[in-house]
Amino acid sequence: MDNKRTRRIEQELKREISSILANDIKDPRVSTLASITAVDMTRDLQFAKVFVSTIGDDQEKEDIIEGLKNATGFIKRELGARLNLRHVPELTFHLDESIERGMYMGKLINDVLKQDEENRKKYGNEE
């Protein structure tokens, strides 16, 4: 299967699922703060992992994923109506915590830089 075609379909799925989340899902568990960060499809286009990022505590994140799992049938039906695909892939939703990890790593780097600057001031610049 053409890798370029797979990537193009992944981007189209990401765009359409984002639109469905923003406009069509009425489940109160699925917050408007949830966003689709990536879609990863298998080479045969039968399955798609949908990565979701959101702000909130662990319970809110679990509720959003649970709400999306319950709405999978509706989302697939909407995708079938919107996209010109022979077969709509099976969707699985996964929590994407890469943004939070990146923010945490950025905080750690800033803390180390701040500590280094304090040490330079305290002990003098001995480079």
Q: How far apart are CA 103 and CA 42, in angstroms?
A: 30
Amino acid 25: pLDDT: 86
Give CATH superfamily name and number for 3-96.
K homology (KH) domain (3.30.300.20)
For the chain, the structural domain boundaries read 3-96, 98-127
- The pTM (predicted TM-score) of the whole model is 0.75
**Listed residue (83, 21, 26, 17) closest to 48, CA to CA:** 17
Amino acid 126: pLDDT: 54
Amino acid 50: pLDDT: 95
Q: How far apart are CA 39 and CA 51, in angstroms?
A: 6
| pLDDT, averaged in runs of 10, over the chain (127 residues) | 84 93 84 84 92 85 89 92 90 86 87 89 70
